[in-house]
Amino acid sequence: MINIEYQESLYYYPKFIDKIKGKTVGIICDINTEKYALNVKDMCDKVSKTLICTYQDHELIPSEDKIEVGIKFAEDVDYVLVVGSGTLNDMGKYIGTVLNIPTGVFATAPSMDGYLSKGSALYEKGYKVTKEVNMPADVLVHLDTLANAPKLMIASGVGDILGKITCLTDWKLSNIVNNEPIHEEGFKLMEEALNACLTDFDAIVNYNKLGIKKLMDALITAGLSMAIVGNSRPASGSEHHISHYLEMDFVKKQLPVPFHGIKVALGTLVALELYHGLLEVTDLPHKEEITQLVNTLPTVNEVKDMLIKAGCPIRFSEINVAKETFIEMFYNAHKVRDRFTILTFISKLGLHDYFLPRVLEKYF
């Protein structure tokens, strides 16, 4: 049973504290999250022996050498507690899985949906890989910390959640085209969390604590829905494939990597453009069903306006993507994962050349 505890301003989580009494806790953070880690250490010190490992990287890449540092640090602890978000969370889960010890996370930003994911995105020999990992035992949520996270990290979380619009639609598309089964419980769980964020969107983008809690709830729910389904289908589709493609390119070129959800947001715009563009295609397979599906979607401009309100970039050039990289991404992102999405459908229909001028003009 996963323990998810919320506090508004206090650094006190009773169920977690009971769990670590008398144990050795290894806190893993980086230079960006160390100030929060020291507060968490003070809390843990009251009931446990607490060690801390601080990565000095301002932009931590989860490569083999960094993972090895974490494994060595955690060899003699009973519990690994990450203080951070995306990369640190993935590293902590993997380290705990390798060492067969429980892990938890003190979330420092509502920036991505992987807190409870059973996969960790890591790098091996420069390539992004997803490792199957154990879910964390505890998620500690501190609303003051989340509401005061860097605005671009909150925008990233918004982008990751808005990406569920296209990701869930990709699942429906594959059901229409390939008869891929839809796991009703996992689908509904993610859909309801998305809709809750859409309903309270203004509270989120105004950094209201209740709005930020709603965003964090949805990000956590993504992990739960993936666990129920047994894979990432409820939370990751075409928009994530675009993000993954770009991330590998940034790392390969040794360029700063934009936040995951920012890339997802941009991928969502492209995917929505393709969905609405399908209505123009003559001799479209499954035309009636796909037309009905597309007509349930928001317009691209509606989603674009939401991203602007959240402070997200709305063009790939804004995050330092070169034009040639954008074109390569458009033609090849569907190859990143073996999963049917709108990108796969466009490729099978031979429509890349048809749509390229429009997506270049609108989103590059």
- Identify whether residues 203 and 102 lie together within a single domain: no
Distance CA 17, CA 14 (A): 5
SS (H, E, C) 164-233: HHHHHHHHHHHHHHHCCCCCHHHHHHHHHHHHHHHHCHHHHHCCCHHHHHHHHHHHHHHHHHHHHHCCCC
Distance CA 191, CA 222 (A): 10
pLDDT of 121: 83
- Identify whether residues 125 and 175 lie together within a single domain: no
Distance CA 222, CA 176 (A): 23
pLDDT of 44: 97
Provide the CATH number for the domain around residue 173.
1.20.1090.10
Which of 121, 147, 173 is where one domain is finished? 147
Whole-structure pTM value? 0.92
- Identify whether residues 119 and 219 lie together within a single domain: no
pLDDT of 1: 81
Which of 95, 127, 147 is where one domain is finished? 147
- Identify whether residues 168 and 236 lie together within a single domain: yes
Provide the CATH number for the domain around residue 107.
3.40.50.1970
Mean pLDDT by 10 residues, the chain (364 residues): 91 96 98 96 97 92 93 97 95 97 97 89 83 94 95 97 98 98 97 97 95 96 92 95 94 90 98 97 95 98 98 97 97 95 98 98 98
- Identify whether residues 237 and 164 lie together within a single domain: yes
- Identify whether residues 216 and 117 lie together within a single domain: no
Our count of domains for the chain comes to 2
Q: Residue 273 is part of which domain span?
A: 151-363
- Identify whether residues 321 and 245 lie together within a single domain: yes
- Identify whether residues 25 and 93 lie together within a single domain: yes
Q: Hey, what are 230's tokens?
A: 């047994």
Burial label, 273 (beta-carbon count in 10 A; 0-12, 13-18, 19+):
middle
Q: Hey, what are 339's tokens?
A: 């999963």
Q: Give the model confidence (pLDDT) of 65-88 as tens digits.
A: 999 999 999 999 999 999 999 899
pLDDT of 61: 87
- Identify whether residues 170 and 131 lie together within a single domain: no
- Identify whether residues 105 and 162 lie together within a single domain: no
- Identify whether residues 244 and 323 lie together within a single domain: yes
